[in-house]
Amino acid sequence: MAETKQPSKKVQLERIRNIGIIAHIDAGKTTTTERVLYYTGKSYKIGDIDEGTTQMDWMEQERERGITIMSAATTTFWTLKEEGAVPDGAYRINIIDTPGHVDFTAEVERSLRVLDGAVMVFDAEEGVQSQSETVWRQADRYHVPRICFINKMDKLGADFERTIGMVKERLGAKVAILAYPIGAEKDFQGIVLVLEKKAFVWDDDKDPKGENPQEIEIPENLVSKIEKIREELVETISETDTRLTEKFLNGEKIGVIELKKALRKAAVANQLIPIYTGASLRNKGVQPMLDGIVNFLPHPLDVPPVEGVNPQNEQAEKRPPEAKAPLAALAFKIQTDPHVGRLTYLRIYSGTLKPGDNVLNATANKQERIGRLLLMHANQREEIKQAEAGEIVAVVGLKETTTGDTLCDKNKPLVLESIKFPDPVISLAIEPKTRADQEKLSYALKKLSEEDPTFKISSDRETGQTIISGMGELHLEIIADRMKREFKVEASTGRPQVAYKETIKKTASAEGKYIRQSGGRGQYGHCLLRLEPLGRGEGFEFANEIRGTAVPSEYIPAIEKGVKEAMENGVLAGYPVVDLKAAVYDGSYHEVDSSEIAFKIAGSIALQAAAKQADLVLLEPIMKIEVTTPEEFMGDVIGDLSAKRSQILGTEIRGKTRVIKGQVPLAEIPGYATTLRSMTQGRASFYLEPSHYEEVPSQIAEKIILAKKGGRTAA
């Protein structure tokens, strides 16, 4: 029998790529992912998003809408065939499915946290779009190296060079053009690999699935162009490496393998961005991009050891990406799978995980037992016996773990930096259609909020109604839809309400006193509180400034709790109070009657009293908006936006269309999709993204407060 050599552990890790495919909605992320799954051999049939049969989109209604929301992680394999490649064995590419719609930027952010590298897909006609910019900046923030895929080269108006220009200018990227398109629009045929000086075309008739690109001579009209690009490329790569710089300056020839090695280093260090191009829908250009993922995106050993905090001593500690090191893994996604139940997706940074292991959830400080370990392929699951540092797995059987929690070795506790999610900006009331649906509704909401940390459930204090909150109208619509389909709950929803907040504008102090003396043991809590405004988004700070023993320190946490509770309930109009510092600076207590509960109530009273004197105002979410419209409607669109209290920040020409950029209060644009459609005969599109919170103008605030106090009927 032939001896099969097992690659060493190190080599195994070097052959893993944990990547995401990110893009502006409609740039072709789903189609590209689908093709990647097809060519990597794990999916059996090319599904076309337009026909709604993609493999990554698990949920029915995602297919219907043609958008991807959930971060499922899919494992695939790819073998390099080029010169200088590792001779045997495939590379394992784990694709973290990043959501494509803007309402889910928080989900993109969460996925970026666990990726080692990303493929950024652009539409060659549209170029760099607003969401591409947003996710690009997020990837910068998490130091995620990227390669780009300029997609849709077959589309009318496709322009490779213009798109590259935008990538350089708008995103400030230093690019390494590795593939150059042969033809454009309906004449797009294939690509030239610039370093190798090899041209490939995909023949639609002979090879409809694009499985066998044919090598051809570089078309004559491109020869000098390719020479020029290659020269620039060699210079750009050489600049990143002292030895190569020297060779370059001496006019020595530098080999392709040498150049690729240097480019890999520069790309992994985020200095250079390799560029590929093609048309996923036409099955062109995808395989070279897959080679690019393997060649130029980091493997788990390329990333620095993960850092966390030891909860026992609050000291920072590092964990190397080694199977023998203590376990440290981050839960980045919870998903309810119809067949196996609750799945927790983990990125293992360090150590080894086996079924039956008892581990510590260091974030929640609870023990968890690992059930089955699964690798999720595009259309099947594979049960595995162990998973190690650098891998991404799904675990069955975790009960206490939620998104962002760290699982670790019981004896080596560590909390990795959790994933931060923005607060919801919109909410609506939801009611079961029948009494029988009530229980199902609560269950469904609980499950859905476990999966999605940007989806929150609360209840209205006055009406007792259940309120759901999320990142946009579409987000809540999809949740309502899933409830119906997956959980069979019939529910009716109210009109979407903007999630206002309250804050203070000046410093003020007040007293909170809760004293009851009746017969036996009474109640005694008393504190003096000073409130100071903080900057937008800074949240809440609490300080204990009591000198001496006016209030024993054991009661201070109770005061803080009371303050927080009162803030959540709101003072002006029942919206949560944010962005302030509360300092307790004095008070008194009673030997017998004082209790935690009394101080908590005193804290609440003090907060309310002080806030009322601190110039309370309402804050509203402001959205970043971008409308793309044919030129003839530009005036109408701007006019309408201006009437909606927006600020127009600028306009831009993109081919025959105009892009209007601005900011608009969320409260002004319910149902904007309909408004825009009727104003532009359906020819404009728009993009919205939560930006920040701003003070509501006082006349409008008055109306909102009145409506809120007058009951729930007004919007």
**Token code pair at residue 342:** 């609750």
Site for ligand GDP in 46-85 (CB under 6 A): 49-50, 66, 68
Interface stretch with ligand GDP, choices 275-283, 311-319, 427-435, 673-681 (CB under 6 A): 275-283
Q: Counting beta carbons within 10 angstroms of the beta carbon of residue 600, is it exposed (0 to 12), middle (13 to 18) or buried (19 or more)?
A: buried
Contact between 118 and ligand GDP by CB under 6 A: the answer reads no
CA–CA dist 5, 12 (Å, integer): 12
Is 15 near ligand GDP (CB under 6 A)?
A: no
CB of 447 to ligand GDP, least distance (A): 26
The answer to the question of residue 36 lying near ligand GDP (CB under 6 A) is no
Name residues contacting ligand GDP, limited to 624-683 (CB under 6 A): none
Contact 306, 318 (CB under 8 A): yes
Nearer to ligand GDP, 188 or 575 (CB): 188
Torsion sign over Cα 287, 288, 294, 298: negative
Radius of gyration of the chain (CA): 29
Which region among 26-34, 243-251, 373-381, 508-516 touches ligand GDP (by CB under 6 A)?
26-34
d(CA 253, CA 245) in angstroms, rounded, equals 11
Q: Which CB sits closer to ligand GDP, 66 or 630?
A: 66
Q: Does 23 bind ligand GDP (CB under 6 A)?
A: yes
> Tokens for 20?
């995401």
The pattern of x and - marking residues 196 through 235 that bind ligand GDP according to CB under 6 A reads ----------------------------------------
CB of 61 to ligand GDP, least distance (A): 15
Q: Please report whether residue 25 would count as binding ligand GDP according to CB under 6 A.
A: yes
Tell me, residue by residue from 501 to 540, as one string, x for binding to ligand GDP by CB under 6 A and - for no binding: ----------------------------------------
Which residue, 100 or 190, is less far from ligand GDP as judged by CB? 100
Q: What is 16-66 written as a DSSP string?
A: EEEEEEEESTTSSHHHHHHHHHHHTT--SS---GGGT--SS--SHHHHHHT
Tokens of 659: 């892009």
Candidates 198, 196, 204; CA nearest to 216 is 198
Three-state secondary structure of 635-654: HHHHHHHHCCCCEEEEEEEE
Closer CB to ligand GDP, 52 or 165, in the complex: 52
152 vs 482, which CB is nearer to ligand GDP?
152
Q: How many Cα atoms occupy the beta-carbon half-sphere of 461 within 13 Å?
A: 11
Q: Is 574 in the site for ligand GDP (CB under 6 A)?
A: no
Q: Indicate which single residue of 15, 113, 146, 152 sits in contact with ligand GDP (rule: CB under 6 A).
A: 152
Instruction: Using the minimum distance from each CB to ligand GDP, give the nearer residue, 555 or 687.
Output: 687
Of these, 40, 138, 280, 608, which contacts ligand GDP (CB under 6 A)?
280
Q: Does 28 bind ligand GDP (CB under 6 A)?
A: yes
Tell me whether residue 67 or residue 619 sits nearer to ligand GDP (CB atom).
67
For the CB of residue 154, give the shortest distance to ligand GDP in the complex, in Å: 5
Q: Closest separation between CB of residue 102 and ligand GDP, Å?
A: 11
CB closer to ligand GDP out of 279 and 605: 279
The answer to whether the Cα torsion of 316, 322, 328, 329 is positive or negative is positive
Choices 23-31, 304-312, 322-330, 702-710 (CB under 6 A): range interacting with ligand GDP: 23-31
Q: How far is the CB of 54 from ligand GDP (least distance, A)?
A: 8
Q: Does 155 bind ligand GDP (CB under 6 A)?
A: yes
**Pairing relationship of beta strands 523-533 and 580-588 according to DSSP bridges:** antiparallel
Closest distance of CB 21 from ligand GDP, Å? 9
Sign for the pseudo-dihedral over CA of 53, 57, 58, 61: negative
Question: Residue 179 Cβ, how far from ligand GDP at the closest point, in Å?
Answer: 14
The residue assigned the tokens 């029948």 is: 434
Sheet with 580-588, side-by-side order of all strands: 508-516, 523-533, 580-588, 540-544
Q: Do residues 278 and 289 make contact, with C-beta atoms less than 8 angstroms apart?
A: yes
Taking CB under 6 A as the criterion, the residue among 18, 20, 22, 29 binding ligand GDP is 29
Contact region with ligand GDP (CB under 6 A), list: 25-33, 111-119, 130-138, 141-149: 25-33
Please report, for residues 430, 539, 640, 644, the alpha-carbon distance to residue 622 in angstroms, rounded to integers and kept in the order given: 24, 17, 17, 12
By C-beta, is 427 or 628 nearer to ligand GDP?
628
Question: Is residue 26 a contact residue for ligand GDP (CB under 6 A)?
Answer: yes
Nearer to ligand GDP, 194 or 281 (CB): 281
Which x/- pattern, by CB under 6 A, does the window 582-621 give for ligand GDP?
A: ----------------------------------------
Give the DSSP H or E segment for 259: helix 256-268
Answer for which of 103, 154, 579, 626 binds ligand GDP (CB under 6 A) is 154
Q: Does 151 bind ligand GDP (CB under 6 A)?
A: yes
Count of residues near ligand GDP by CB under 6 A = 21
* Choice between 54 and 238, CB closer to ligand GDP: 54
C-alpha to C-alpha distance for 329 and 332, rounded to whole angstroms: 9
**Distance between CA atoms of residues 527 and 586, nearest Å:** 6
User: In the complex with ligand GDP, which residue's Cβ is closer, 280 or 401?
Assistant: 280
- Output 130 or 503, the one with its CB closest to ligand GDP: 130
Burial class (CB in 10 A: 0-12, 13-18, 19+), 373: buried
Rounded Cα distance between 34 and 40, Å, is 10
Rounded alpha-carbon distances, angstroms, from residue 472 to 105, 136, 299, 316, 665? 11, 21, 35, 37, 13
CA–CA dist 17, 22 (Å, integer):
15
Q: Please, what is the minimum distance in Å from the beta carbon of residue 356 to ligand GDP?
A: 39
In the list 31, 111, 130, 449, the residue contacting ligand GDP (rule: CB under 6 A) is: 31
Of 164, 199, 273, 281, which one interacts with ligand GDP (CB under 6 A)? 281
Cite the beta strand spans of 555-677 per DSSP E: 580-588, 616-630, 647-654, 657-665
**Cα 613 from Cα 90, distance rounded (Å):** 67
Structure tokens at 4: 């099969």
- Write out the residues near ligand GDP by the rule CB under 6 A: 23, 25-31, 49-50, 66, 68, 100, 151-152, 154-155, 279-282
